[in-house]
Amino acid sequence: MPPIHTIALHFQGFDNATAAFLVESSAGPILLATGSYSTLPTLKKGIQALSYKSGNIKHVFQFQLSPAAPF
């Protein structure tokens, strides 16, 4: 299994509110759940702390979890 790194995004000042995940792969680093635009500076710092440059990330998967709508 490839290494998976958690990057805390500190959304609105909360330590455990949101996180992004960087997966190391043979195709290069893969970024999952990048968070909102307001957390971009924190995300970039987290990527750099893992010895990657944000410009080298070619695979990004963004998703949002939300409560299911009633049917």
**pLDDT tier for residue 15 given thresholds of 50, 70 and 90:** confident
What percentage of the chain reaches a pLDDT higher than 90?
Answer: 51
User: What is the model's pLDDT at position 63?
Assistant: 73
Residue 64 has pLDDT above 70, yes or no: no
**pLDDT tier for residue 31 given thresholds of 50, 70 and 90:** very high
- pTM here is 0.80
| Interacting residues of 24 by C-beta distance below 8 A, sequence separation 6+ | 2, 3, 4, 5
Neighbouring C-beta atoms of residue 22, cutoff 10 Å: 20
Residue 71 has pLDDT above 60, yes or no: no
> What's the whole-number average pLDDT of the chain?
86
